């Protein structure tokens, strides 16, 4: 196939109007990454992330993609490749899961510390030992303090939207972004989704043009990842910390801008609050609120709909930076006296990581916070199980 023919095919694809397609989650993510058009893609396959990078490799091999696809011998190498490419001033992408993320950990911290706008998908999966390939969120919680923005998707459409927003945030704020999708539950699940075309994405996300002096270029030499003595290190880390906190406002702004320019939100009368940080689903005056994140939110919503009690669901979309004020103000406004935090992670020796932060955020409110770790290692979280938990808490 000639280069002109390949370019013509890509142009035709980018012109297609929005239309729902029944796609596997991994395929949908790969398609939207291709439409975002990074310059460099590098990853190492690991279950359940593998289908994403297999599709991206296939797109490149068949002439459907323009990016440089670099095979790596490990996740550490893949992360190092996108670090180097981003430092050279181009848009990059990677994906990983579980032990792969842990192998990347050193580089993950360096990417944030060097303020590189890398976007990475994490197909959340349990970590060893014992060995387990199924979904929970202990992998991402292990690097929650690395300096990355962390987004969590409830379903595959939200994952698609979050990847596009992630690039805008990363390149605008000079902060890397993780987009978290539950392994197998989303990556291998077929759902009807809309994939914005390249032209539609460009209405919101322009081509990446880094500022000279913020990347490696002999025309204006800079040092990235320099040695920092005790006289400077604290201030550098505090700058990163403060910029993450300041990004809360920008995340909300970009959420609104994206849905205005690319994919309008379909209104749901049960959704009273919906922004880039959280979503609240339920009555205006709930007796009980369930807080969680990721794909389990769908099961929780179905459960409370069946119960028909005054129960609300507060979904965390952005976990880092932690939207403490947004959560506190929402709970205070709604007036619920009981909170259940349900999460697929356990902070060994301390409790549940999200619950600890929720308790801290709500410590001065007259609210009782209950915590429950469920679904570790891929165990099913059923409506029957959730109804029992809710019933027990309501009786207290």
CATH of the domain at 65: 3.40.50.970
Report how many domains make up the chain: 2
Residue 246 has a pLDDT of 98
* 257 domain residue, yes or no: no
Helix axes 98-113, 230-261, angle to 10 degrees: 110
154 in the same domain as 18:
yes
Counting residues of the chain whose pLDDT is more than 70, the rounded percentage is: 95
Find tokens 């040695």 and name the residue: 227
Which domain-ending residue is among 180, 202, 224? 202
Residue 3 has a pLDDT of 37
Range of the domain at 152: 3-202
174 in the same domain as 38:
yes
pLDDT band at 351 (very low <50, low <70, confident <90, very high): confident
Residue 292 neighbours by CB under 8 Å, 6+ apart = 300, 313, 314, 315, 316, 341, 342, 343, 354
190 in the same domain as 75:
yes
Q: What is the mean pLDDT of the chain?
A: 95
CATH of the domain at 339: 3.40.50.920
63 in the same domain as 195:
yes
CA-wise closest residue to 120 among 25, 49, 174: 49
Helix axes 25-36, 156-173, angle to 10 degrees: 30
Is residue 11 predicted with pLDDT exceeding 80?
no
* Distance in angstroms (rounded) separating the CA atoms of residues 65 and 59: 5
Structure tokens given for 270: 């049960």
pLDDT band at 308 (very low <50, low <70, confident <90, very high): confident
- The region, left, alpha or beta by phi > 0 then psi within -120 to 50, assigned to residue 336 is beta
Residue 123 sits at the vertex; the CA angle it makes with 267 and 339, to the nearest 5 degrees, is 55
Residue 17 has a pLDDT of 45
Q: What is the mean pLDDT of residues 83-96?
A: 98
Q: What is the mean pLDDT of residues 71-95?
A: 98
* 371 domain residue, yes or no: yes
The one-character DSSP state at 351 is B
Residue 282 has a pLDDT of 98
Is residue 326 predicted with pLDDT exceeding 70?
yes
Structure tokens given for 38: 């990074």
Residue 117 has a pLDDT of 98
Torsion of CA 129, 131, 132, 137, to 10 degrees: 30
Whether 180 contacts 150, CB under 8 Å: yes
Is residue 176 predicted with pLDDT exceeding 70?
yes
* Distance in angstroms (rounded) separating the CA atoms of residues 256 and 248: 13
Is residue 6 predicted with pLDDT exceeding 70?
no
* 208 domain residue, yes or no: no
156 in the same domain as 27:
yes
Q: What are phi and psi of 388, to 5 degrees?
A: -65, -45
CA-wise closest residue to 187 among 278, 294, 77: 294
Burial (CB count <10 Å: 0-12, 13-18, 19+), residue 178: buried
* 245 domain residue, yes or no: no
Is residue 162 predicted with pLDDT exceeding 50?
yes
307 in the same domain as 182:
no
pLDDT band at 184 (very low <50, low <70, confident <90, very high): very high
DSSP per position, 352-378 = -HHHHHHHHHTTTSS-EEEEEE--GGG
Residue 8 has a pLDDT of 39
3-class secondary structure, 90: coil
Is residue 105 predicted with pLDDT exceeding 90?
yes
pLDDT tens-place string over residues 16-53? 446 899 999 999 999 999 999 999 999 999 999 999 99
Residue 159 has a pLDDT of 98
* Distance in angstroms (rounded) separating the CA atoms of residues 344 and 104: 21
Structure tokens given for 299: 């099961």
Sign of the CA dihedral running 283, 396, 331, 293: negative
175 in the same domain as 44:
yes
39 in the same domain as 128:
yes
Whether 385 contacts 176, CB under 8 Å: no
Enter the pTM of the model.
0.95
* 352 domain residue, yes or no: yes
Residue 16 has a pLDDT of 43
* Distance in angstroms (rounded) separating the CA atoms of residues 50 and 301: 29
Whether 127 contacts 142, CB under 8 Å: yes
Return the CA Rg of the chain: 21
Helical H segments across 212-316, by residue range: 230-261, 296-307
Which domain-ending residue is among 179, 202, 225? 202
275 in the same domain as 195:
no
* 155 domain residue, yes or no: yes
146 in the same domain as 51:
yes
Whether 30 contacts 52, CB under 8 Å: yes
Structure tokens given for 45: 């396959």
Is residue 317 predicted with pLDDT exceeding 90?
yes
pLDDT band at 7 (very low <50, low <70, confident <90, very high): very low
Whether 113 contacts 122, CB under 8 Å: no
Residue 15 has a pLDDT of 38
3-class secondary structure, 327: helix
Which domain-ending residue is among 202, 224, 249? 202
């Amino acid at each position: 196939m000639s280069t002109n023919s390949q370019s013509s095919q890509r142009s035709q694809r980018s012109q297609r109007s929005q239309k729902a397609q029944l796609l596997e989650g991994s395929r949908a993510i790969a398609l939207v990454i291709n439409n975002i058009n990074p310059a460099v893609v590098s990853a190492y396959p690991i279950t359940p992330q593998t289908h994403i990078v297999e599709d991206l490799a296939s797109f490149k091999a068949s002439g459907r993609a323009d990016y440089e696809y670099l095979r790596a011998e490990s996740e550490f190498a893949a992360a190092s490749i996108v670090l180097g490419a981003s430092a050279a001033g181009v848009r990059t992408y990677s994906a990983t899961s579980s032990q792969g993320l842990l192998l990347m950990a050193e580089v993950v911290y360096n990417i944030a510390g060097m303020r590189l706008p890398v976007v990475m998908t994490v197909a959340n999966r349990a970590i060893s030992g014992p060995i387990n390939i199924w979904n929970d969120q202990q992998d991402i919680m292990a690097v929650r303090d690395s300096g990355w923005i962390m987004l969590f998707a409830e379903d595959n459409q939200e994952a698609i939207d979050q990847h596009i927003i992630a690039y805008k945030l990363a390149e605008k704020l000079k902060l890397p972004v993780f987009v978290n999708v539950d392994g197998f539950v989303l990556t291998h699940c077929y759902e009807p989704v809309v994939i914005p075309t390249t032209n539609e994405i460009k209405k919101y996300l322009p081509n990446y043009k880094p500022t000279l002096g913020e990347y490696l270029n002999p025309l204006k030499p800079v040092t990235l990842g320099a040695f920092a003595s005790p006289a400077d290190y604290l201030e550098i880390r505090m700058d990163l910390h403060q910029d993450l906190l300041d990004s809360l406002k920008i995340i909300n702004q970009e959420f609104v801008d994206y849905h205005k320019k690319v994919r309008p939100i379909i209104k749901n009368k049960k959704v009273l609050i919906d922004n880039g940080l959280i979503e609240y689903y339920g009555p205006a005056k709930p007796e009980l609120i369930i807080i969680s994140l990721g794909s389990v939110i769908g099961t929780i919503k179905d459960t409370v709909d069946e119960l028909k009690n005054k129960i609300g669901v507060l979904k965390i979309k952005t976990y880092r930076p932690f939207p403490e004020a947004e959560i506190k103000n929402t709970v205070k406004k709604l007036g619920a006296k009981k909170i259940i935090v349900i999460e697929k992670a356990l902070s060994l020796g301390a409790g549940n990581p999200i619950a600890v932060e929720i308790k801290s955020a709500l410590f001065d409110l007259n609210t009782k916070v209950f915590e429950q770790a469920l679904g570790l290692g891929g165990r099913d979280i059923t409506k029957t199980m959730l109804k029992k938990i809710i019933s027990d808490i309501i009786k207290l």
